[in-house]
Amino acid sequence: MAAGPMKMRATIAGGNIDVRVLMTHPMTTAQSGQPLHFIQNVVVKQNGKTVIEAEISQAVSRNPVFTFRLKGGAKGDKIEVSWVDNKGDSNKIESAVA
């Protein structure tokens, strides 16, 4: 399975912004007998400003789903989430806070 599209929903919840993002990715481990293929870096931006930088390993489940929380945001804020994997593939998604 190759890396595929992303889905994201950013909503106001309890005065914060909840960002729920899904990445289509095999996240294969060395133990699986398949080539090691996993997302290494994830960056979350709010209105163009980096708010979260993550480094992850092959221990994150296939088709990773993350929930992040941002404070002090508003409806319409632009949230962008991007990733890069160990093969240099990347993807990103942007949507406005609903």
Partner 1 sequence: MKTTRRTLIAALGTLLLKPLAAFAAWNEQAFGAKTAADALKTLGASSPAASKDIVIEAPQIAENGAVVPIEVSSNIPGTSSIAVLIEKNPFPLAGRFEFKDGALPYVKLNVKMGETSDVRVIATAGGKHFAASREIKVTIGGCGG
Provide the binding-site residues for partner 1, judged by CB under 8 A.
16, 27-33, 40-41, 43-44, 46, 49-62, 64-73, 82, 84, 86
Report the nearest approach of partner 1 to the CB of residue 73 (Å).
8
Going by C-alpha positions, the residue among 86, 90, 56, 80 that lies closest to residue 8 is 80
Look up residue 22 and give its two tokens: 């899904």
Residue appearing with tokens 């294969």: 28
Report the nearest approach of partner 1 to the CB of residue 97 (Å).
13
Looking at the Cβ atoms of 20 and 95, the one nearer to partner 1 is 20
Distance from C-alpha of 71 to C-alpha of 37, rounded to nearest angstrom: 33
Report the nearest approach of partner 1 to the CB of residue 52 (Å).
5
